[in-house]
A = this chain, B = another copy of it.
Amino acid sequence: MSYAGHVIIRQPKPPFAALTAARGATQEEGLMAIQAIGQAVRTSRDATIFTEGDDALYSYKVVSGTIRLCKLMSDGRRQIAEFLQAGDFFGFEWRETYSLTAEALEDAELVRFPRARLDRLGEERCDVQRQLMTLLSRDLCAAQNHLLLLGRQTAKERVASFLLSLVTRNKAKSGDTLDIPMCRQDIADYLGLTIETVCRAISELKRARLIAVPNRMQIVVVNVPALREIVGGDA
């Protein structure tokens, strides 16, 4: 029911050459074993992939598009935990139900892994379990850094941190253009701010010539070191 918008493209054994290529040089055997049980699915813009509290039937990998993982309060307040892009895995928390909600920012292609099969695979093969551990660890460390951002950084620092995380992810340098697939509201909900505060921080960075904003979906990072300077204090 919450899987409306998902279409299984090919069922049992899709060719995964393209997927592993997208991930780059990851030749872990455990990872291969996981990939082998994947099913390709599609989601459309704003579709819900799973909802917090649902039975956790599948884990996922992003092939293309962008996904947001978020928590909602009953009065509508929202906190986005993470944005996921090609090559990222999600839904690997080892629990009966999903601990957050996954939605597509834009049309996306995913690979999904049935939890039951993943579970069986993990019982037999330690290298698979180990791979899952690595994925979880990555998420945990990201969450810990996010805690510091939300608890102790100013609005300007948060926006600079966000841009720097995109710089890192895209291996961008000063002068490069970043594609920003998320709207301002998503950025605000990720940074624990309001949309207006995000706008003002971006405008301020623009006035200071640290970035340029050709359009709402792109940002040119003119001066990466200066952005790092703003974040500064992080260990």
Contacts of A125 in B (CB 8 A): 126
Is A75 an interface residue when CB atoms closer than 8 A count as contact? Answer: yes
Q: What's the Cα separation between A129 and B78 when bound, in Å?
A: 33
Contacts of A147 in B (CB 8 A): 71, 79, 81, 143, 146-147, 150
A156-199 interface (Cβ within 8 A of B): 189, 191-192
Q: What's the Cα separation between A147 and B126 when bound, in Å?
A: 31
Is A52 an interface residue when CB atoms closer than 8 A count as contact? Answer: yes
Q: What's the Cα separation between A228 and B153 when bound, in Å?
A: 28
A232 touches which of B74, B141, B146 (Cβ 8 Å) = B74
Which B residue's beta carbon lies closest to that of A231? Answer: B73
A interface residues (Cβ-Cβ under 8 A, vs B): 52-53, 71-75, 77-79, 81, 93-95, 99-100, 122-126, 129-130, 132-134, 136-137, 139-141, 143-148, 150-153, 189, 191-192, 232-235
Please list 16 pairs of residues, one from A and one from B, whose beta carbons are closer than 8 Å in the complex, sorted by A's number. Answer: A71-B147, A75-B232, A79-B148, A79-B151, A81-B144, A93-B140, A94-B134, A94-B137, A95-B137, A122-B126, A124-B126, A126-B129, A133-B133, A140-B143, A150-B150, A152-B192
